[in-house]
Amino acid sequence: MSAKKDVEKRKADVRALLALINSSTEDAMASWEHDEGTVPGLDDEPEDTSPSPVLLRSMRVLDGACYQLTYLLRPTFMTSINQAWGLIEAACMRVAIHSKAADFLNDKPDGAHINEIAKNAGLDADKLGRILRLLTMKHVFREVSKDVFANNRGSYAIRSSDPRCAFLGFMVDEVNKYGFSNVYDALADPEYGPSRDDRRSVFSWGIRDEMPNANIFEWYNKHPELFDRFSRAMTAIKLGLINEFYPVASLPVDTKWCDVGGGMGGALVHVANTNPKLRMTLQDMPNVVEQARQHMLKECPQQVKGGRVSFVPIDFMKEPPVPDQDIYYMRFIIHDWPDANVLNIMRNVRKAMKPSSRYLIHDLVLTVPTDKGASQSKNVNAPAQNAPPPLLPNYGAGGIRPFLADINIMTALNARERSVEDVVHLANQVGLEFVRFWDGVETGAIELKAA
């Protein structure tokens, strides 16, 4: 290709990205207006609903195209600086969360001076002000006038009562301190680096002086207040709720739905409110089950008080769930475990299943290229790498969350996110057979039956 044609091709790619940005922006605005009756503003209270698959598809293109366009046109050294300094934002978010600045500003719509905010937090006003000012540039807090800060859409989400604050705190505290800060050191360690044991994860390397030979959940046993926060954090994840893309609403009356490892009921609440005529069981560790009962009493009281929801303790590594359910459902469970543990979990579920039972594994889904010359199994309808050009086939930055989650879970538990084919390969080893894939965009549910 001649130099002139090469330039024209590159300009055409830039214009194609602009076109994708325009079209996906219109699609996203239409989705917001359809679902919420409006388009969000920077100072609005954050929405408390799960994003629809339509919005997620629009944002996947928009995020990917915006990042690729700025990456193309930004000088490389500026990108390198942004990458090197990326950890600063997480450090500032940690300060904002622990200072409870958003809580202090909650009843002050006109804002408060940094001296007041800092006094309440017991921190230096100058330093805290500089930290909050940086966050305002990413739309977390709003600087009304010099040194006067108010809440906005981004900072409302870090009020201590908000589950999103628990999620952010979980990430910037224990996972960052013991995990992300130590990734290279653990990978280079001859004992930890090649291991797939959950007690030899990056996190385990980080806590080895405090608790040798322990995984994150065993560490949480010594830090119950942080485990409580972790449990609340899991209720904040509203990405791809199962009722958004699986026909929960049309399931017959008294269908038996068992949420195995259901935590505080963050997913089951939405199932119960979508189809209140189901017979539902939530299973988790004994201390979690009691928290789930209280949470669901608040969120779907009629179903709980009416006896449509049962709460049954389980250690799903050691025992099968309640038998003969129509649907066994696991959300964000198997990604917590290495393959050997996943096989054990699947084997226990398989023991409980009747011939007509279905097993739904709901997780983030990796879209990875097949080996050169290979084709995807014709029996596995996994999500295709079909992003519009010139985006990367997997949407690049627009499809990055499952891959970020993969490194996160590798760091925390030596586990992994998986492709559909990865899950089916494991399922086939324990007498389970693939039925279909339900696409929720980024997440999805893999439906299995007894072979």
Instruction: Indicate which CATH number applies to the domain containing 267.
Output: 3.40.50.150
395: three-class secondary structure by DSSP = coil
Tokens of 202: 């990056």
Cα distances (angstroms) measured from residue 232 to each of 90, 149, 176, 401, 404: 20, 28, 18, 20, 21
Number of domains the chain contains: 4
Q: Which amino acid is at 413?
A: L
Structure tokens at 261: 């490892």
Task: For residues 305 and 374, state if they share a domain.
Answer: yes
Vertex 442 angle, CA 437 and 443, to 5°: 50
Which has more confidence, 5 or 40? 40
Same domain, 285 and 426: yes
Per-residue pLDDT averaged across 81-108, rounded? 97
pLDDT tens readout for residues 67-83: 999 999 999 999 999 99
Q: What confidence score (pLDDT) does residue 67 get?
A: 98
In a domain, 306, yes or no: yes
- Predicted structure pTM score: 0.90
Query: Using one digit for the tens of pLDDT, what is the confidence trace for 367-407?
Result: 876 554 444 444 565 665 689 999 999 999 999 999 999 99
Average pLDDT score over residue span 35-51: 89
In a domain, 272, yes or no: yes
Residue 305 lies in a domain: yes
Of the residues 115, 141, 156, the one at which a domain ends: 156
pLDDT-based confidence at 262, cuts 50/70/90? very high
Whether 404 and 260 share a structural domain: yes
Do 335 and 375 belong to one domain?
yes
pLDDT(249) > 70: yes
63 within domain boundaries: yes
Catalytic residue among 270, 295, 335, 362: 335
Residue 76 lies in a domain: yes
What pLDDT does 375 receive? 44
DSSP string across 194-219: T---GGGSHHHHHTTTTSTT--HHHH
Same domain assignment for residues 180 and 39? no
Which pLDDT value is given to residue 376?
A: 47
Round to whole Å and give the CA distance between 393 and 160: 39
Q: Which domain holds residue 183?
A: 163-234
67 and 196 share one domain: no
Bigger pLDDT: 63 vs 3: 63
State whether residue 281 is helix, strand or coil: strand
| Residue 180 in this model has a pLDDT that exceeds 50 | yes
Residue 11 pLDDT more than 50? Answer: yes
Strand order in the sheet with 148-150: 112-113, 148-150, 142-145
On whether both 303 and 376 belong to a single domain, the answer is yes
Domain end (from 181, 204, 234): 234
137-167 pLDDT, tens digit per residue, is 999 999 999 999 999 999 999 999 999 999 9
| Last residue of one domain, picked from the residues 138, 156, 174 | 156
Based on C-alpha coordinates, what's the Rg of the chain? Answer: 23
HSE toward the beta carbon, residue 316, CA cutoff 13 A: 30
**DSSP letter for each residue of 224-258:** HHHHHHHHHHHTT--TT-GGGTS-GGGSPTT-EEE
Q: Which amino acid is at 7?
A: V
Mean pLDDT over residues 196-208, rounded? 96
Report the alpha-carbon distance of residue 310 to residue 258 in Å, rounded.
Answer: 9
**Are 381 and 342 in a shared domain?**
yes
Domain membership flag for residue 5:
no
3-class DSSP state of 311: strand
Beta-strand relationship, 279-284 and 309-313:
parallel
Average pLDDT over residues 25-32: 98
Co-location of 280 and 347 in the same domain: yes
Is 87 part of a structural domain of the chain?
A: no
* Torsion sign (Cα): 11, 16, 22, 25: negative
Output the domain CATH number for residue 114. Answer: 1.10.10.10
Whether residue 113 lies in the annotated active site:
no
Residues 220 and 192 in one domain: yes
Decide if 257 is inside a domain: yes
Q: Which residue has the higher pLDDT, 226 or 51?
A: 226
Interval 431-443: pLDDT, tens:
999 999 999 998 9
387 and 302 in one domain? Answer: yes
Residues 263 and 360 in one domain: yes
Predicted confidence at residue 384, as pLDDT, reads 58
